[in-house]
Structure 1
Amino acid sequence: MTADVGAQLRKGVVEYCVLGLLSREPMYGWQLSETLTAAGMIASIGTLYPVLGRLREKGFVISFDEASDAGPVRKYYRLTAAGVERLDAFRQQWAPFQNTVQHLIEGNPVHD
């Protein structure tokens, strides 16, 4: 049986993708879902809400309600200071990690 490597990779980084999107501006769930679905990071909006719940429990995002001209009140999400710190820490580790993995999968030794 072949594992879906892409699914495992997405699962590992989707929370950071949400934090990155929210670092630009607060967004409501549907906006986040559309962006992440279009990028192939989640399958549907149903996949997003458990991620948002985990991020809220960890204190990385908060939600707030805002009136909408196009219908009912929308629940928006924004980063907390802890979320900004978490995203910054990930960004600092991501580039070197990505480079190391690239070298290794190409069969190249990694040098300091």
Structure 2
Amino acid sequence: MSENPRMAALRRGMLEPLVLTALDRRQRYPAEIVAALRDAGFPAQEGTLYPLLTKLGREGAVTHEWRESSSGPPRKYLSLTPAGERQLSEFRAYWRDLTDTIEQIGRHS
């Protein structure tokens, strides 16, 4: 069964705030971010994630540090910057407002 195109567009728009949420108060490397999203039921692929992480880095929302790994090459661990924390806070406030608006309109229909 194919996915509803409207829902697919909404899902794509949710990737950025979900990635920021995955990094809230916790450093992760990209494969861990993908796993966290999938574990929560959000279909994510590394091929989609990397361009977004690059964009977030350019914008100053995330930073990274390299760490040695016992299971292979060093890993790039990402974390939120203060700007990323503000962006996540703005996303959360907007989401609450949007949810409230949807509920309010539903009550008045």
The size of the alignment, in residue pairs, is 107
**d(CA) in 1 for partners of 2:38 and 2:51?**
15
Q: Which runs of 5+ in 1 are unaligned?
A: none
Task: Give me the whole-angstrom Cα distance separating, in 2, the residues matched to 1:55 and 1:76.
Answer: 14
Give, in angstroms, the shift of residue 3 of structure 1: 5.2
SS at match of 1:10: helix
The RMSD of aligned alpha carbons is: 2.0
Q: Give the superposition deviation at 1:25.
A: 0.4
Q: What percent identity do the matched residue pairs reach?
A: 36
Provide the secondary structure at the position in 1 that maps to 2:76.
strand
Give 1:101-112 correspondences, 5 Å limit: 101-104=102-105, 106=106, 108-109=107-108
TM-fit CA distance, 1:93: 1.9
Deviations 1:15-46 (A, max 9, x none): 11111110120100100011223334344111
For 2:4 and 2:70, how far apart are their aligned partners in 1? 44
> Secondary structure in 2 aligned to 1:27?
coil
What secondary structure, in the 3-state scheme, does the structure 1 residue paired with 2:23 have? Answer: helix
> C-alpha deviations, 1:60-79, integer Å up to 9, x for none?
00121100112210011110
In 1, Cα distance between the equivalents of 2:44 and 2:90?
27
Q: What is the correspondence of 1:9-88 to structure 2 with a 5 Å cutoff?
A: 9-88=10-89
Residues 1:54 and 1:41: Cα distance change in structure 2 (over 3 Å): farther
Amino acid at match of 1:89: E
Normalised to the residue count of structure 1, the TM-score between the two structures is 0.82
Q: List structure 1 segments (4+ residues) > 6 angstroms apart after TM superposition.
A: none
Structure 2 CA distance for aligned equivalents of residues 9 and 39 of structure 1 = 16
